Amino acid sequence: MRFCVAFGCLLLSFVTAFAACGPDREVTSFGHATADAAADVHAGLHADTVTLAPGVDDGDRDPSVLFLDGAGKSCSGVLVAGDAVLTSSACVGVDANAIEVRETADGAPTARGARVIESQVIPTVGASFAVVLLDRPVVASLPTWVRSSPPIAGEHVRTASFENAGNSARKTLRDHLEIASARLDDFVVSENPCSKREGAPAFDENTEELVGMVLMSAPCGDPYVGTAYARVLPMRDFLEDALDASADPDGGPSDAGKRQHGSKGKTVTDLRDACEAGVDCAAGVCIDQKGASTCSRECGSGDRCPTTFHCQRAVTNGDGGVMVCADP
């Protein structure tokens, strides 16, 4: 008996020591980072967070995302050249001229479809991409392009797409969403799939380059299963060929006979925008610091804050705290 008691104490001491030496950050299966309750908390820093960010009005933050209306279906699409939009083949129908492209869901058409070129069906996804060549350039929007590296599990992306908002659709932004898993042809983002329409893109959160796209909308069931995005990088050659097929190229002297595709952009977030709660922010994090409540995002080991922010531990309601990007 004495041996059992001593052994139990020894085991308890070992477990306690191991826990004390372990990481001070726990990541759940859906990517919500929480701080150790026993760790020091930055004085005066409080945070309100939500696990599933509902998204905010994108405004003019992602001008490459456009609204496609036609073939009895409305979708999102991404401007990849001045007069070419990448979307899902589920959005295009059989008549390219029936497709209207708008900058807002209820705005006037800025261009119409002139020709549609579809990729091969991606077997594991069961759908395909489509490039809509337009009858004229969309001059008010800036095109983007495909990132040259594949998405990996654990990194973060931003999403911006038109989602249901009453009787219309609103361009909705979500920022700093974790990629929960990544496969050869697709990846899953920690995001509620219920409101996603086909053609919704996922961007590199730093460069605004295109990483993935929703090709098939998912049934609205468990909001925690995540949203599946088809990888765009394997389609880059298809995109280049589709842009070369234009009958009215707008390339410059260095690219005669070809469309000029998009490039990297400067990402605009809502960090430091005023908020009252986590639901008011693109990343689902609202912090109160020095008497002001502003939007922030989570951070941690390998997940650095943008320039001028420091990763600090904040007090939250109901748990031990959370690591957030805050002013020094």
CB-CB neighbours of 285 under 10 Å:
29
How many other C-beta atoms lie within 10 A of the C-beta of residue 123?
7
- Domain 65-144+235-255 shares a fold with domain 146-232: yes
- Is CATH 2.40.10.10 the classification given to domain 146-232? yes
Q: What is the model's pLDDT at position 154? A: 95
Divide the 328 residues of the chain into consecutive groups of 10 and give the mean pLDDT of each group.
Answer: 38 36 35 43 79 90 92 88 94 90 93 94 91 91 92 96 82 96 94 90 94 90 89 95 68 43 74 95 94 94 91 82 92
Write the CA distances from 274 to 189, 255, 293, 295, 306, integer angstroms.
26, 44, 6, 6, 18
Q: Report yes or no: 76 and 66 within 8 Å, Cβ to Cβ.
A: yes
pLDDT for residue 51? 86
Please give the CATH number for the structural domain made up of 65-144+235-255. Answer: 2.40.10.10
Domain boundaries, the chain: 24-54+270-326, 65-144+235-255, 146-232
Q: Are 185 and 234 in contact (CB under 8 A)?
A: yes
Rounded Cα gap, residues 317 and 46, in angstroms: 9
Distance CA 328, CA 312 (A): 9
> Please, what is the Cα angle at 212 between 261 and 238, to 5 degrees?
45
